[in-house]
Amino acid sequence: MAMQFLMSFSGPQLMPMISLGSYLSFIGYTALGLGLFFQFPVVLFVLASLGIIRPESFNGYRRHVLLGLLVVAALISTSPLDQVMIAVPAYVLFETTLLFLRLRRI
């Protein structure tokens, strides 16, 4: 459906140049980027389990973490809306991971 809509903009001077290789490459890199990006809570959990970091050490750095998540989301997304749709769940996962780590220590 989206492809039909986008193809409706073609004309005599605007020819679509869509190839299966470029589409699969885009999908593959996007999936790989999102997969690696959402491993962030796992990395935090492992580092905390090894005693390298403490959940309390992030109290003053929440804004920095959010900014970092937005920057990484901007690098792997195609629009500002996609950036927010990637960064917000990642931040929720970050906060959930910190909460889980705090509860685990009690």
For 44-67, write each residue's pLDDT tens digit: 889 988 989 888 888 889 999 999
- Alpha carbons 69 and 37: distance in angstroms, whole number: 9
Residue type, 14: L
How high is the mean pLDDT of the chain?
A: 85
Identify whether the C-beta of residue 9 lies closer than 8 Å to the C-beta of residue 18: no
- Whole-prediction pTM value? 0.69
